[in-house]
Structure 1
């Protein structure tokens, strides 16, 4: 990595942190007086678009999206591959309003966490998996009924390029119980924005939105089958994209 590009990465992080601080302070004052949808657009969508734009402009992380025609007309459960921070920014800007399943500790981060609390996240305790599953089922159903997309990274954490984590069934169960589909999303963001370290490399991230998938019947077996179908599609598509990166 050249010195010039290292400087650009440092500049990107400096501007990202500064914009987050300023935006969070503004949002804490203004957002409580907005409706949920307006609040989401103002607090999350605008800033996440800014983050994606900074990545594109300063460090050369462009992107292409395929499969937009697969997006249902009404919100459902999104199951996405998780390799980096980039897809968190991108998906939060692309779908609105969106409620994300995230670790509870993020809510304790000064300013940032306080702003997140205004956006109806599903903040789970990863140390208590059974309680987390019940929380995703209950609050996820509420968010869907309120007209929000529910974003779940079913692997639970960012997974390095070339590796796959086992998909949690929570997203498939939520969708099946709500009689809604899951929308699988694959990408190769980790090839340009790795999980570990600050290093980046310029290029074009490929995002593929897969076909909406419904449970074919009811009960635990149908949930397991739906989850496996989504996992197989995401893993196969990610493998294809990574060979091209």
Structure 2
């Protein structure tokens, strides 16, 4: 990908306004989630908590002039599965919450300690891991992930672990594939180019189109985790938006 040109004054102003508005509304909504969320049933709780996420995506379109092209939506169903997506920015963590709900996301336990925002996030019953403990993190993904799948949730995992620059893929860990294999559920791969509009490590948001592609379910029957991971990795490479 060609590096972004220096942002114009208009892009800076729009990005700053987006950051301020979505942060302030996020604080307010998180406060409401802590008050109301515990008393709602699961589906209603996810819908209520994700109202702010929907607002953030709407605001992103209006202020930052970012549109989304979605391909393969028909491959998503309500059935439990493990969804593996490449990771470039915080955009996909927002968008996938709206696209796939209810869900259980694998995330760092430290995020749940953030006042109000983290407390609201905890109400979505994510899979909490300690990233500094490699073996312990894998055990958490497997044990908590199986519980979430058994309860009917779809599990979303970013196998690279950390955000990567647009057009590149980091090393995929096998935790999600192992979870799917042991639980006997299919895997769905997602390939996108969100980093073109939401670059990592900056608050600047660039106008453009984010393309997100969803694979057909990938069977995990009689496959080892490494084979599943390789299939997912290859699908993401083959279908990465040009």
- Asked if TM exceeds 0.5, the reply is yes
Written as runs of structure 1 = structure 2, the 5 A alignment for 1:62-211 is 62-211=67-216
Aligned partners of 1:188 and 1:206 also within 8 Å: yes
Shift of 1:73: 4.4
Determine which of 223, 226, 229 is the counterpart of 2:228. 226
Q: Secondary structure at the match of 1:184?
A: strand
Deviates most, 99-108 or 192-201: 192-201
CA distance in 2, matches of 1:29, 1:137: 31
CA distance in 1, matches of 2:164, 2:137: 20
When the two chains are superposed, the root-mean-square deviation of aligned CA atoms in Å is: 1.1
Aligned partners of 2:11 and 2:204 also within 8 Å: no
CA distance in 2, matches of 1:106, 1:48: 16
Q: Secondary structure at the match of 1:63?
A: strand
CA distance in 2, matches of 1:87, 1:38: 22
Shift of 1:162: 2.7
> Greater helix share, 1 or 2?
1
Aligned partners of 1:9 and 1:200 also within 8 Å: yes
- Deviation per residue, 1:23-53 (Å, 9 max, x gap): 001111111111122111111x212111111
Runs of 4+ in 1 over 3 A off after TM superposition: none
CA distance in 1, matches of 2:121, 2:221: 35
Aligned partners of 2:19 and 2:203 also within 8 Å: no
Tell me, which stretches of 5 or more residues in structure 1 are unaligned?
none
TM-score (norm. length: structure 2)? 0.94
Deviates most, 191-200 or 48-57: 191-200
Shift of 1:103: 0.8
Shift of 1:163: 2.1
Aligned partners of 1:187 and 1:208 also within 8 Å: yes
Match in the other structure for 2:239? 237
Q: Secondary structure at the match of 1:199?
A: coil
- Deviation per residue, 1:190-226 (Å, 9 max, x gap): 11110121222101110100121112415xxx22111
